[in-house]
Amino acid sequence: MNVPVVSMEGFNFNSRCGESILINSNLKDLVAKNKDDYISKVLSFANDLDKLKRTRKFIFDEVLKTNTFNSKEFASNFWKSILDTYSNHK
């Protein structure tokens, strides 16, 4: 928990999972556009321990409050989506 993970933008569903989780967890700054950006972001954390500490604190304090980890909200929206789909196909 609360360890920043840098992920690179993907080109298909499987390779976009890390990107999607980070963006929906309000951690879009951890998404790299390419290999050079990935290296730059990782080195930025290695060379700026205060930045690493702030990011770790944000992850620990805030990430569980985001939609990614709000299972009640997800379940409610998923259920509504199923009902809407069902009612539109009658």
43 to 13, 37, 52, 77: CA distances (angstroms): 27, 10, 11, 39
pLDDT bracket for residue 63 (50, 70, 90):
confident
The amino acid that residue 74 corresponds to is: F
Are residues 24 and 68 in contact, defined by beta-carbon separation less than 8 angstroms?
Answer: yes
- 10 Å CB burial of residue 33 (0-12, 13-18, 19+) is exposed
Q: Which pLDDT tens digit goes with each residue over 30-58?
A: 999 999 999 999 999 999 999 999 999 99
Are residues 42 and 6 in contact, defined by beta-carbon separation less than 8 angstroms?
Answer: yes
**What is the residue extent of each domain of the chain?**
7-88
Statement: residue 23 has pLDDT above 70 = yes
